Chains A and B, each alone.
Chain A
Amino acid sequence: MDASQGGGAETVLRLAGITKRFGPLVANDAVSFELRRGEVIALLGENGAGKTTLMNILFGHYVADEGEVEAFGEKLPPGDPAAALAAGIGMVHQHFTLADQMSVLENIALGTQRMFAPRFDRTSARARIAKLSQDFGLHVKAEALVADLTVGERQRVEILKALYRDARILILDEPTAVLTPLETDALFATLEMLVARGLSIIFISHKLNEVMAVSDRVLVLRAGRLAGERATAETDRGELAALMVGEEIRTPQVVAHRAGEPVLEIEGVSAAGQGTGAALDRVSLTLSAGEITGLAGVSGNGQAALAALIAGTLVPASGQMRIRRETVSGWSPRAALAHRIGRIPEDRHAIGMIGDMNVTENVISESYRSPRFSRAGFLDWKAAREFAMSIIAAYDVKCPSPEARVRLLSGGNMQKLILGRALDGDPAVILANQPTRGLDVGAVAYVHSQLLAARERGAAILLISEDLDEVLALSDRIVVMSKGRLSPPSRRGELTVREIGELMAGHGVFDTGESHAA
């Protein structure tokens, strides 16, 4: 993937003046660019910058309000995915577009045969898939049900879907968001092979290191506009980050310091899984004062159950929990709050906040029973409002008033409210489950600095994150979760990314005995 080869090659795709509005929001504002043969363009931008919208217009899911798309010199009719496919554009969506209860073959060949043919031709489809997976090293069983595949395999199916239709341009929307580091490496190798065969690729991401690794050219989108364009070889992460947010970002520095007494001890706990996630299998974990323990892992491996356990919404089936050396009995959400466990839940919309209630109501939702906010069974709205005002001021929450409905706030501001609520009264334990998911770079830095400040004040923090970079940046100790089991803890810097990746994939220590992280 050499930047220089892009120069003379033919233009395969041209976007001119694409503008798309959703109500008052301008998602794309006069975006134009060109893609050349054999080139990898990275489309970089924060969440909500308009990357996915732009690609959905290109692929015909949305109709642009203004502007046009040209593929191989032909104008594409707007709003017609069939035309985009016919023009050789393939798209791997961020949320896979696969039917789970159908086979790989059926998913790939869907829509490629004459609709009212009396018979679906499996034989030829199977042969073609076999050839493609051979050619591109994308191994996947054609007759397997999609439901039985791993995330990495599903992504291979999505890429095969595009190749099956002879795609010459491949769009990948946040393709690494769901992959382990090993799977990411495999994906990058595949991309390299595709480019060698003359395909052109648009790679959408908000991860700077990936963009630097795979692309020839970087387009930065900010608030729907093209904020800049750089040849990858001539830029660096700092410049790209600044382009993305429009200002310099100061990443908080982690100062090493000694951990204190153990605060929360989990010993040999097994518990039911949450939703489709794995169950906890004899998990042991100790959280100590003044220490951030980072938990890495691919989602669905038991993180949800562990978080629910600490938050008090899940009761262990077996095993013990101790808080400050005392064994816990009668575990419940209220008990968790009484033991000063501050909770930053994974899904701020579904669990963290009640969208249709206002800011004041939301910030007192964990403490409305305390004498601070209620007298003789009546709420003290004055005190509650003052509390809301103090959080709004201290955490710089942008909202019209404490009476504003939370639904109307941005993700970052909602997360600040949750932080304010969770950190109120100096919690002894902080459960931070995906605290920065979906936040922009500025908000991420803010959340990180608050977590580090809480660590300075002596809180025992568990940081659960699918973003390995985040775990590596903040944690004093790292544990890895796979299939409901926990790896032994390692000190900061002790393991390489590759080693952590292997633990995430379930190799190594998980085979026998109790899973340990004492």
Chain B
Amino acid sequence: MEAFEILFTTSLWVAAIRIASPLIFATMGELICERAGVLNLGIEGIMTVGAFAGWFAVYAGGDLWFGVIAAALAGAAFGLLHGVLTVPLGLSQHVTGIGITLLATSLTYFIYRIALPEVTSPPKIESFQPLAIPVLSDIPLVGPALFNQTPLTYLAYATVAIVAWVLYRTPAGLAVRAAGENPSSVEAQGISVTAVRVGAVMAGSALMAIGGAFLTMSAFNSFFFEMINGRGWICIALVVFGSWRPGKALVGAILFAAFDAYQVRLQQVTGGIVPYQVFLMLPYVLSILALIAVARRATYPKALMVPYQKGER
């Protein structure tokens, strides 16, 4: 019974939303890229870059929001690199993406070593603090979980709404979706497929980097190696789980985060009987099962991973 009661504790849901926040940013970022027809496996590395850039900007004396902007710009720069390699040059999106992840991660560690040659334990920064929203945060259970979080979490909520609005309600979003469905429809209407796709990859990569920055600026206060720890790959799965729709992807991110928060607490309840590794595995097993249930029926963007070459015969 104890295992069941955990579900109604405030701390579980507070943790779930906190764990979900970086995933929401990065998932929205990946979703934008894929909607434009470009798979971005650079996500893991771009999150690492964002985590470092945001943290380092603040460590070097910048304002917290300046850190967020620094992370976004760094992400967009790697997005530009990925975009140029995969869109006008038409290179394999898989290979380029993995290359970007390796490059971005290693480059980050390298710069960290150069910038801080003598530190043994990573320095801390003054990170974003929870900001209770009056009235709403007083609602039992839901209130503290949703409305007593850091400003970056609120930004994550807003990001979902903005991405959904842009994709479905603006001319630019129309062009992005068309580029992912059939690039020749974009070209035939006098819009540059290259511009749309590279632009989408840059915007998406900026969001991924903010997702990474959440970890150093809102969750852990400092930067250390391997801190992204596969979160980027989870976001790739979340995009599929969400059938390339922002709302569904948000639900997926929160579900995954809730499982993750739940398994930590479950370990304490059943400690000793079941090896803890089983619990660590749980969210991933569940996400595979969820993918099987949901994603088989998904309609994916038709031109995903198909390079478009103007004037090709």
Binding site for B on A (CB under 8 A): 22, 56, 61-63, 79-86, 91, 93, 95, 97-102, 106-107, 109-120, 161
Q: Smallest CB-CB separation from A164: which chain B residue?
A: B189
One digit per residue, 1 when the CB lies within 8 angstroms of any chain A CB and 0 when it does not, for chain B 173-201 equals 11101100110111111110000000000
Q: Are A115 and B188 in contact (CB under 8 A)?
A: no
Q: Which residues on the B side are within 8 Å of A112 (C-beta)?
A: 189
Q: Which residues on the B side are within 8 Å of A82 (C-beta)?
A: 190-191
The CA-CA distance from A98 to B182 in the complex, in Å, is 7
B172 at the interface (CB under 8 A from A): yes
Q: Using known A-B contacts A98-B182, A117-B171, A118-B170, determine if residue A111 contacts B177 with beta carbons closer than 8 Å.
A: no
Q: Are B171 and A101 in contact (CB under 8 A)?
A: no
Q: Are B170 and A120 in contact (CB under 8 A)?
A: yes
- Give min CB distance, A349 to chain B, whole Å: 14
B248 at the interface (CB under 8 A from A): no
B299 at the interface (CB under 8 A from A): yes
The CA-CA distance from A83 to B192 in the complex, in Å, is 12
Q: Are A107 and B173 in contact (CB under 8 A)?
A: no
The CA-CA distance from A224 to B74 in the complex, in Å, is 50
Q: Are A107 and B185 in contact (CB under 8 A)?
A: yes
Contact among B173, B177, B187 for A97, CB-based, below 8 A = B187
Q: Which residues on the B side are within 8 Å of A81 (C-beta)?
A: 187-190
29 chain-A/chain-B pairs, Cβ below 8 angstroms: A22-B313, A56-B311, A61-B311, A63-B311, A81-B189, A93-B184, A97-B188, A99-B178, A99-B302, A101-B302, A102-B177, A106-B174, A106-B177, A107-B185, A110-B171, A110-B175, A110-B178, A110-B185, A110-B186, A110-B189, A111-B175, A111-B189, A111-B191, A114-B171, A115-B171, A116-B171, A117-B170, A120-B169, A120-B173
Q: Which residues on the A side are within 8 Å of B311 (C-beta)?
A: 56, 61-63, 79
List 12 additional A-B contacts (Cβ < 8 Å) besides A81-B189, A110-B171. A79-B311, A82-B190, A93-B184, A93-B188, A97-B188, A107-B185, A110-B178, A111-B189, A114-B171, A115-B171, A117-B170, A117-B172
- Give min CB distance, B16 to chain A, whole Å: 32
Total count of chain B residues near the partner, CB < 8 A: 25
B310 at the interface (CB under 8 A from A): yes
Interface residues of B in 179-227 (CB under 8 A from A): 181-182, 184-191
Contact among B178, B188, B313 for A102, CB-based, below 8 A = B178
Contact among B182, B187, B190 for A86, CB-based, below 8 A = B190
- Give min CB distance, A157 to chain B, whole Å: 11
Chain A interface, >50% SS class: loop
Q: Smallest CB-CB separation from B177: which chain A residue?
A: A102
Q: Using known A-B contacts A85-B190, A86-B190, determine if residue A97 contacts B171 with beta carbons closer than 8 Å.
A: no
Q: Smallest CB-CB separation from B178: which chain A residue?
A: A99
Q: Which residues on the A side are within 8 Å of B172 (C-beta)?
A: 115-117
The CA-CA distance from A97 to B179 in the complex, in Å, is 11
The CA-CA distance from A97 to B193 in the complex, in Å, is 13
Q: Which residues on the A side are within 8 Å of B191 (C-beta)?
A: 82, 110-111, 115
Q: Smallest CB-CB separation from B195: which chain A residue?
A: A115
Interface residues of B in 265-303 (CB under 8 A from A): 299, 301-302
- Give min CB distance, B306 to chain A, whole Å: 13
- Give min CB distance, A86 to chain B, whole Å: 7
Q: Smallest CB-CB separation from B179: which chain A residue?
A: A99
The CA-CA distance from A115 to B301 in the complex, in Å, is 21
One digit per residue, 1 when the CB lies within 8 angstroms of any chain A CB and 0 when it does not, for chain B 145-181 equals 0000000000000000000000001111111011001
Q: Which residues on the B side are within 8 Å of A117 (C-beta)?
A: 170-172
Q: Which residues on the A side are within 8 Å of B302 (C-beta)?
A: 99-101
